[in-house]
Structure 1
Amino acid sequence: MTLRGTNQETGRPYNRRIVLESIRLHGPTTRGEIARSVGLTVQTVSTIVRELEEQGLILSVQKAPEGRGIPPSTLTINPEGGHAVGIHVTPLGIEAALVNLRGDVVESLRRPVVNAMPDAAFAFIKEMVATLKASPRCGRLFGAGLALPGPFDVESMSFVGSTTMAGWKNVDIRQHLADATGLPAFIENDMAAAALGEQLYGLGQQISNYYYLFFSVGLGGAMMHDGSVMGGAWGNAGEIGHIPAVPNGEPCPCGNHGCLERYLSLEAFERRGLPEAEWVAEIAPFFRNVVRTIENLFDPETIVLGGLAPQPLVRELATLVDGLDTSISARANRALPRVVVASDCQHSALRGAAALAVFGVLSPRFGQMFETSEKGNSE
C-alpha cells in the first residue's frame, strides 16, 4: 500500500496519520524524505512533525556534523510515546499485554480459565487491565484491542464448538470490552490480528504478500496483500479450518464432516493423544495439502506459520515443507522458503490486537477500517 497525503482542507487528520506511519515504517528519516515519499510539502510535514513531537509520539535526533553545514535531524517513533492493551481470548485462557508503540510487550498477564463464559471473561479482563494500568511502566493509553477465534457472524460456525468461544453468541463484545477497560475498544478475529502483528513488528516489515497460517485451538489464517489484511466481504477471508479434508470424515460442530481443523489443530492434537512425533507424521499429508491449497489460491511470497501451538511443535510442522510437491509457488527464484516460522508466535495475536487500538487512531492503513468496523458485535 502506497502512503500518499492529501491537499484537501479536511485531510489534516489523515495527513497526520500518514506522516506518523511513514516515520514508523522508514525511520530514522528526515522531513524532506517524508515529504517526497507521501507527496506533501516540506512545510506541511514540518508542521505535523512539530505537533507529533509536542505530543511525545516521535523523537528528533540531531546528527553530529560530518562536514560543512548542519545535517538535518532524523525522526523516529518514540516507543514510550504511548501504549495499548492487547487481549487474546481463547478456549484455553485469557492473555492481556501492555504494548508500546514499537510493538514491544512491556508487561503481560495470563489467566488459564478454560472456556470462559462472557461475564466471567470480562470480569477477568477488567481485573487484568486494571493491573496493567497501575503498572509504573504504563504511559498514555490509546485503547484496548481484543482478538478472539473466528469466524464472525456465521450462524453455523461462530461461537460453536470446542475451537471457538462457545456461549458467546448474541453478545455485544465491543461494548463489553469498552465497559471492562474504560478504553476505546477494537475487535478482530485472532488470525487476522496475528497477521497484523507480524506485518507491523515481524517479517512483514520485509515482505508485503504472505499468508499467516494460524495454528491454534482451531485452524485459520489470513492473507496479507500489499501490507493489508484481505478481509473478504464479511471479514472472514482465509478461514481454512472448515475446508473439507476427508470425505465422510469426522463430524464437525459446524454441521459438516471431515473439516480440516478436525485433523490439524491443537484440539485435534490433544484429542488424538499421540506423542508429538507420531502425530506430526500422521497429519503430514493434511499439512502439505493445506500449504499447496494456500499457495494455489493466494500466490503468497511465503506462508508464515504461527499461533498458540508450542514453539517446538510449530518448528516441527515447518519441516514438513521438505516433502511438498509442486504448486504455483514451487519456483527456483524464491527469496524465502515456502513456509517460515512466525517471528513471535506466542505474542503475535496480542501485539496485533494492541495495534488495532494504536493504528485505529493513528494510521492511514488501519484507521478508517477500524473506525467504521462493526466486527465483534455478533447480534
Structure 2
Amino acid sequence: MKTKSTGDLALIKKMNTAIVLEAVIQHAPLSRAQISEKTGLNKATVSNLVQDLIDNHLVQEIGPGESSGGRKPTLLLFHEKTGYAVGIDLGVNYIKGILADLSGNVIAERSLKLKPSQTENALEHLATTIETLMGSAPASEYGIVGIGVGVPGIVDEEGTILFAPNMKWRQIELRRLLEERFGLPVTIDNEANAGAQGEQKYGAGKNIPNQIYVSVGIGIGTGIILNGELFKGSSGFSGELGHLSIQYDGKPCSCGNNGCWELYASENALLEQASSLGFDGLEELLQAAESGDEQVRTLFQGIGSYLGAGIANIVNVFNPSAVIIGNRMSRAAEWIAPSLHESVDRRTLPYHREKLDLLFAELKDEAAVRGAAYYAISRFIAKIKSV
C-alpha cells in the first residue's frame, strides 16, 4: 500500500506541475497567487511547484507586479530562452529553416533555392542547413531540444516519406536518418500540416477551431484542423486535396491521376503558363504584377479562379469557419484574391459560404517552417510535463 501511495503522490505532483507550467506558458506574466486562482491548486502547492520549475530553468521571476492592497507580487514568465528548436520547410525548389526559442520566436533563419538538378542532393543540403542553424544557437540550459521538418509528401507514423510525387521520392526514412545524424528527437510531417499548425499557433488561425489551411507552392496540400485538432485520418495521410480531380480526363499528374487540382492552381501551373512570356520564377512574376504587367496579372487571376474552384469543394465538404491560403502563392494575394473570391462565391453552397472567412496566411510563406519548429517545441514541453 505504501508503494502505491507513493506512486500516486508522484503522479499527482507530475500532473500538477504540468498544470502550473501550462498556466505560465498560456497566461504569463502572472503571479503565484494568480496561478492558484486559475488552476484551483492551493497556494502552498503552487509555490513549491513554481520553485521546482525555476530550479529547472523553465520559469523565471521578472520582478514585482501591481499590488492589490498588500505586498507587490512577484511575476513569473516561461523561460523561453532555456532551449531552442530547429524548424525546416523542405520544398520542391527550396529549403527554408529557422532556429526558434521555446515560445516560437525566430532567432535565426536560413533559406536556400533548389534547382531541379539539386533535388538528388536535397537531403545533404537539408542536413547542412540544420547544422548551420544549430551552430547559431546561443548557449542555454537545454540546448537544441529537437528538429521538426515539413515535407511535400505523404509521411507515415515512423517519419518515413512514403511518396513525394513532385520530388520523385519514395520510401525515404527521413526521421531515422536525421536522428542518427544529429542525436536529437525529430518530427516529420506533411508540409501543409506543419503550415496549418503554424498558422493556428502563431498566425491567422488563432482561436479558429475549424479551419482548412491550403498550401499553394509547386503543388497543393491542405492541413485540416477540426475542433482545434489536426485531423490526419485513419492512416495519417489526410490532406492530399491537391489531388482532387477537378477536370475529368485532364492533364496527367505525377501522382498517377488525371486532372488534379494542383495542375491548374499551383505555383507550377503558373510558371508553366508564364514560360511563354519569358518568365521563369515567381519572384519575377510578382515584380511584373507589381509594375502593372496586365498579362501577368491575368495569369494570377486565372490561378485565383482555379484555386476558388477547389476551395469551394473543400468548403462544401467540411463547412469550416475559415480557409487560409498559405505558402509562396500567398505573396500574390493582391492579384489572386478578387478572382478567388468570385469563384468561391459562385461555386459554394450559400449556407456554407455565409459564415466562411477566406484568409491569406499571416505568416505568408513561413507558416510551415514555424509549424515545424512548433512540433519540436511541443514535443519537448510534453516530455518536460511528463517527467
**TM-score scaled by length of structure 1:** 0.81
Quote the offset at 1:38 in angstroms. 4.8
Q: Secondary structure at the match of 2:359?
A: strand
Give the aligned residue type for 1:220: G
The count of aligned residue pairs is 350
CA distance, structure 1, for counterparts of residue 219 and residue 228 of structure 2: 25
Q: Secondary structure at the match of 1:253?
A: coil
- In structure 2, the CA distance between the partners of 1:253 and 1:109, relative to structure 1 (3 Å rule), is same
Does residue 144 of the first structure (1) align with residue 133 of the second (2)? no
Rg larger in structure: 2
Q: Secondary structure at the match of 2:107?
A: strand
Whether the 8 Å CA contact 2:30–2:77 is kept in 1: the answer is yes
CA distance, structure 2, for counterparts of residue 271 and residue 64 of structure 1: 59
Quote the offset at 1:257 in angstroms. 0.9
- In structure 2, the CA distance between the partners of 1:287 and 1:78, relative to structure 1 (3 Å rule), is same
Whether the 8 Å CA contact 2:301–2:335 is kept in 1: the answer is no
Task: Write out per-residue CA displacement over residues 291-350 of structure 1, whole angstroms, 9 at most, x where no aligned residue.
Answer: 222222222221111112361x1343333354213533332xx5xx62111111222111
Q: Secondary structure at the match of 1:309?
A: helix
Q: Secondary structure at the match of 2:239?
A: coil
1:346 alignment counterpart: 365
- In structure 2, the CA distance between the partners of 1:161 and 1:280, relative to structure 1 (3 Å rule), is same
Does residue 216 of the first structure (1) align with residue 235 of the second (2)? no
* Identical positions, percent: 28
Q: Secondary structure at the match of 2:127?
A: helix
Task: Write out per-residue CA displacement over residues 140-199 of structure 1, whole angstroms, 9 at most, x where no aligned residue.
Answer: 21111111012235xxx953533xx323x2221101111333322111111111111112
Quote the offset at 1:224 in angstroms. 1.9
1:57 alignment counterpart: 58
Matches within 5 A, 1:174-185: 174-185=175-186
Quote the offset at 1:8 in angstroms. 7.2
Quote the offset at 1:13 in angstroms. 4.8
1:246 alignment counterpart: 247
Whether the 8 Å CA contact 1:329–1:338 is kept in 2: the answer is no
Aligned-CA RMSD value: 3.0
Give the aligned residue type for 1:320: S
Task: Write out per-residue CA displacement over residues 252-288 of structure 1, whole angstroms, 9 at most, x where no aligned residue.
Answer: 1222111111111111111122654222322343222
2:283 alignment counterpart: none
1:230 alignment counterpart: 231
Matches within 5 A, 1:1-379: 9-10=10-11, 12-13=13-14, 15-35=16-36, 37-38=38-39, 40-66=41-67, 68-115=69-116, 116-117=118-119, 120-135=121-136, 137=138, 139=140, 140-152=143-155, 158-162=162-166, 165-167=167-169, 169-273=170-274, 275-309=295-329, 311=331, 313-323=332-342, 324-325=345-346, 326-327=348-349, 328-331=351-354, 334=355, 338-363=357-382
Quote the offset at 1:35 in angstroms. 4.6
Give the aligned residue type for 2:175: R
Task: Write out per-residue CA displacement over residues 54-109 of structure 1, whole angstroms, 9 at most, x where no aligned residue.
Answer: 23333333434445202433333333222100112111022221111222221111
Give the aligned residue type for 2:361: A
Structure with a larger share of its residues in helix: 2
Whether the 8 Å CA contact 1:208–1:224 is kept in 2: the answer is yes
Give the aligned residue type for 2:336: L
Q: Secondary structure at the match of 1:329?
A: helix
Give the aligned residue type for 2:149: L
CA distance, structure 2, for counterparts of residue 319 and residue 109 of structure 1: 33
- In structure 2, the CA distance between the partners of 1:64 and 1:172, relative to structure 1 (3 Å rule), is closer
Quote the offset at 1:359 in angstroms. 0.5
Deviates more, 1:285-294 or 1:352-361: 285-294
Whether the 8 Å CA contact 2:219–2:268 is kept in 1: the answer is yes
- In structure 2, the CA distance between the partners of 1:130 and 1:272, relative to structure 1 (3 Å rule), is same
- In structure 2, the CA distance between the partners of 1:310 and 1:296, relative to structure 1 (3 Å rule), is closer
Whether the 8 Å CA contact 2:330–2:360 is kept in 1: the answer is no
Whether the 8 Å CA contact 1:123–1:180 is kept in 2: the answer is no
1:4 alignment counterpart: none
Whether the 8 Å CA contact 1:318–1:340 is kept in 2: the answer is no
Quote the offset at 1:32 in angstroms. 4.6
- Provide structure 2 residue ranges, at least 5 long, that are not aligned to the other structure: 1-7, 278-294
Quote the offset at 1:231 in angstroms. 1.4
1:373 alignment counterpart: none
Give the aligned residue type for 2:223: A
Q: Secondary structure at the match of 1:191?
A: helix
Whether the 8 Å CA contact 1:178–1:184 is kept in 2: the answer is yes
CA distance, structure 2, for counterparts of residue 160 and residue 122 of structure 1: 13
Quote the offset at 1:202 in angstroms. 1.7
CA distance, structure 2, for counterparts of residue 160 and residue 184 of structure 1: 23
**TM-score scaled by length of structure 2:** 0.80
- In structure 2, the CA distance between the partners of 1:97 and 1:306, relative to structure 1 (3 Å rule), is same
Give the aligned residue type for 1:159: F
